[in-house]
Chains A and B, each alone.
Chain A
Amino acid sequence: MSTEQAEVIIVGAGLAGSIIAYQLGMAGVDVLVLESGPEVPANRAQYLERFYTATLKTPESPYPPVSTSDSPRDPSKENAPRATIADLLGGWNKPETSYLVQKGPLPFNSTYERVGGGTTWHWVGTCLRMLPNDFRLKSKYGVGVDWPIGYDDLQSAYCRAEAEIGVSANVADQAYLGMTFPEGYSFPMHSIPLSLVDGSFVAAVTGKSFDGLPLVVSPTPAGRNSQPYAGRRVCAGNTNCTPICPIQAKYDATVTLNKALATGKVRVMYRTVASKVTVGPDKNINGVEFIQYQLGEGPKTGSGVAIGQRYVIAAHAIETPKLLLNSKTPAWPDGVANSSHQVGCSLSDHPIYLAWGLMPEGKTVFPYRGPVSTAGIESLRDGDFRSQRAAWRIEIGNEGWNWPVGDPYVTVVDFIDGKNKSFTNPLPSKKDTQPTEVLYGTALIQRLNDLFIRQFRIGFLVEQVEKDPDKAKSYIVPSTDKLTDGLGILRPEIHYDLSDYTKEGFRQAKALASHIIRDLLGAEELTAPIGEGKFTHLKEDYTFQGAGHLMGTYRMGDDPTKSVVDKYQRSWDHKNLFLVGDGVFPSTGTSNPSLTIAALSFQAGDTIANDLKAVTMQVQSNIAWQGTGVQVNGLVPRLVRYVSGLWCASPQGGNVDGNGGSRHIDYSSYALPGAAEGALIGRVGAGGTPFLVGDLAQVPGNQQGELQLCINDDLTGQYGSGLKDNTGALTIRVEFGAL
């Protein structure tokens, strides 16, 4: 049993954990990260090799532990198992081979990774912001749950997330459905060019509408380099964002994790599984117990407790509630952070309606080229229809029928063996006139070519909304059958269902998919039921796929009885505990969640850094530039906030706060000529350009040095008594954060 100490303990080295670790490291805070999976490899060659040689090329195929369909795993023997597509193929409700213990009625078919860098290893890179109305679903449309924050509260955090991830997009393409950007803002990199598949959709849908709303194809903002960025290469269009970008042109959280380590303040313990969060008599968290292993199915090699002043659980919407609920004690019989009984509840995904087709003969789109997706139809993400049915966004795929059919494999085998699993041998439209063929030689090549270069698919990411969000039908609890992993930790038991509101979103998705494919593109639709995610709605059958978006099991809110964390992602029950990641989403909107996870993580990082390292001090009125002791650089945004007190710069001006008085004097001997007399002024370094603080300001990011503060007055006494007759002082706080 070992004891590890740091100022902040973070569980999980994925996107949220890495960003917070980096922010805290930059703030000078000692951080220990506990990561259940293995370390980040020195290079990605081994992961890539495993992908190349995997017969089953699932999103998880490059990563440990190995997941294949031919030799199913035994999750009760694995030390850090995770949900995989191979598990689903082997039988979603078979806990002997599926890590998730699935109780239905529907399968939860999204997956994740447990490795350093987390699931961003296999994300597509989509960096859509949430829409303003996504944050007020309840008040605007009468369904779901409102967020305790709005779009504007996330504006600067979105910008920081876009800078950290490195997002390629153009503001003009993204300012739709109420989304705004700071004046003069531009994304870190220009937009990624559309694919030929996208181009055919632009031509087909432009000027058309659905349900009274326009159909508009938008380039997708992507965490994928369109220019060299942060020392990483430009996208070469490997069409492999999921499962693995071979050249790291796509951001993943190892980028930020490495920066965190480079601060010298952050330490990561790998193969270290948090097993229990413990609570002290003062209701504060006083430790995270962990178990260690070396080999994926080997014995325990150690155990211990990590102790800090603040605790962050960044293990996403399944592993985080699993940990909290596995931490029950007689004093905390409902688990940690769970006085609301909402921990584990409202497990959400963006269940996907997948549709595909073949362009008309002679019309080529050349898929299997470019990033996996470069555009989508985003114009239907919001509208009055949301009072009646779920919204969705439409992702246009560049990877042909790889996802829906398993191509090129399935079609190749069909024409060699004379089978028809792909429904192209013959096509439905030709099944009365053309037999199933067996081809070889140049005829085989020509037929396959003719089919491949006309393939396309679209995916509708449907918003999942509970009928009664306070009595959610989808939730995760520790296994009630007492099924454990290799370390003896109770595994996640999943209960999953879709509401009629969500299902109605599928009905409309299906209608639009067929309209686009058949009427607007003039293509042949081949959409067919695939997978085990099946439901019937209004007498029609549907299948749904997983998006890999695990959201909503420890939501934020204003009401401690109905939410798990406050708007700062701080536990209502334990003031030194933060729960981060998309588990905090009260509602999911339709945007892929990673960018919002990153933005919220920046905010949580600020809050924790301020808990520990904010500087509160007095600024005297009768002393010129006063050092704060705070070293500023462009990498860590800092705020100066007026807290209390009054001061006086002149009898005429009287007692004023940080905003100063009504007199504006333009003498050059003033700290900031032209600003209000008596205002709080800052500068970075003795030679820095003074800036107005007032009652709140962000320190300019383009200078380095010590932050200095001063009253706006005649500093040298050139025009009178200068500072000598000044009285009073202001209490100010130098914080972490951005405006």
Chain B
Amino acid sequence: MSSDLDNFVGLSSALTGIPVDRLAPAIDQVGLPPTFLAFITPRITPAVLNALLTQYATLAADNVPPDQIAQAVLMDGSHPAVTQAARAARSIMKLWLLGVWYQPYATGNYASTDSTVVSDQAYIQSWAWKIAQAHPMGYSEMFFGYWNTTPPSLEDYTGVPANTQGASS
């Protein structure tokens, strides 16, 4: 039986396309998944969170492919679903990609206009920069002159191969 954390990571992976073992590495020196889960629980409400995780767990148990799980969570036909769960799921995607929590709807003391960088590590580890085959602005682990050469592939950065029309590397 999977924990909420496992389901949260699995759901996050289905939504973002980034493999589970990249979002939550076996040896995780940063530990964003529990931080994110704890951060969002009051902000989307435990009820919405549970609904999302249950939906994910049920579909995953039936071996539904990740893209179809994401579609079931996010979409209403060809349009973005407007349910709280779908809006929460889109905020979870942005959280992983940008490190920023965009409050999806008003609840409790949280206003729908709130946006917060969850932590310095949430920014530093955010995936948009890896998707750009780059690094967060202000956090480079590269060496002098690297910008003069082609970066490693998108797959190296994210585990997702580039679209065939896309990157040349």
Contact = CB atoms under 8 A, between A and B. Distances in A.
A440 B134 contact: no
Interface string A446-463: 111110110000000000
Contact of A366 (B70, B116, B133, B158): B133
Interface in A409-463: 409, 412-413, 416-418, 438, 440-450, 452-453
A440 B70 contact: yes
A589 B44 CA distance: 54
B81 to A, nearest CB: 10
Interface in B94-124: 94, 97-98, 100, 102, 113-117, 119-120, 123-124
B160 interface: yes
B130 to A, nearest CB: 9
A116 to B, nearest CB: 21
A447 B132 contact: no
Given A235-B144, A408-B128, A369 B151 contact: yes
Contact of A51 (B14, B114, B129, B138): B138
A299 interface: no
Nearest to A452: B132
Given A368-B134, A368-B137, A416-B94, A237 B150 contact: no
Given A236-B140, A368-B129, A446 B166 contact: yes
A446 B162 contact: yes
Interface string A700-718: 0000000000000000000
Interface in B127-169: 128-129, 131-135, 137-151, 154, 158, 160, 162-163, 165-169
B70 A408 contact: no
A417 B15 CA distance: 13
Contacts of A55: 100, 115-117
Contacts of B162: 446, 449-450
Interface stretch (A238-246, A562-570, A648-656, A675-683): A238-246
Nearest to A444: B17
B121 to A, nearest CB: 8
Contact of A409 (B67, B100, B114, B144): B100
A195 B115 CA distance: 33
A445 B154 contact: yes
B168 A364 contact: yes
Nearest to A372: B137
B10 interface: no
B40 interface: no
A441 B15 contact: yes
Contacts of B117: 52-55
Interface in A353-379: 361-362, 364, 366-371, 374
B15 A412 contact: no
Nearest to B18: A445
B154 to A, nearest CB: 5
Contact of B120 (A49, A445, A453): A49
Most chain A CB inside 10 Å of its own CB: which residue of B79, B98, B145, B151: B145
Interface residues of B, number: 61
Given A55-B100, A193-B145, A453-B166, A440 B140 contact: no
Contact of A449 (B71, B143, B167): B167
Contact of B66 (A361, A374, A441, A450): A441
A400 B129 CA distance: 11
Interface residues of A, number: 60
Nearest to B121: A52
B116 A440 contact: no
Interface string A326-368: 0000000000000000000000000000000000011010111
Contact of A193 (B16, B18, B147): B147
B138 A366 contact: no
Contacts of B151: 366, 369
A374 B147 contact: yes
Given A370-B146, A408-B129, A238 B139 contact: yes
Contact of A412 (B98, B143, B147): B98
B75 interface: yes
B16 A441 contact: yes
A440 B135 contact: no
A444 B139 CA distance: 24
Interface of B: 14-18, 66-67, 70-71, 74-75, 79-80, 90, 93-94, 97-98, 100, 102, 113-117, 119-120, 123-124, 128-129, 131-135, 137-151, 154, 158, 160, 162-163, 165-169
Interface of A: 48-49, 51-55, 57, 70, 193-196, 199, 226, 234-240, 243-244, 246, 361-362, 364, 366-371, 374, 398-400, 402, 408-409, 412-413, 416-418, 438, 440-450, 452-453
30 contacts: A48-B138, A52-B124, A195-B148, A236-B141, A236-B144, A237-B146, A238-B140, A239-B135, A240-B138, A246-B138, A362-B165, A364-B167, A366-B133, A366-B147, A367-B132, A368-B135, A369-B142, A369-B147, A370-B148, A374-B147, A412-B94, A438-B79, A440-B71, A440-B74, A445-B18, A446-B154, A446-B160, A446-B166, A448-B97, A448-B131
Closest 8 CB pairs of A and B: A370-B147, A368-B134, A442-B17, A240-B138, A452-B132, A408-B128, A446-B163, A52-B120
Given A237-B145, A240-B137, A452-B133, 13 more contacts: A55-B117, A195-B148, A199-B148, A234-B144, A366-B150, A367-B134, A438-B75, A438-B80, A440-B71, A440-B74, A441-B15, A446-B160, A449-B132
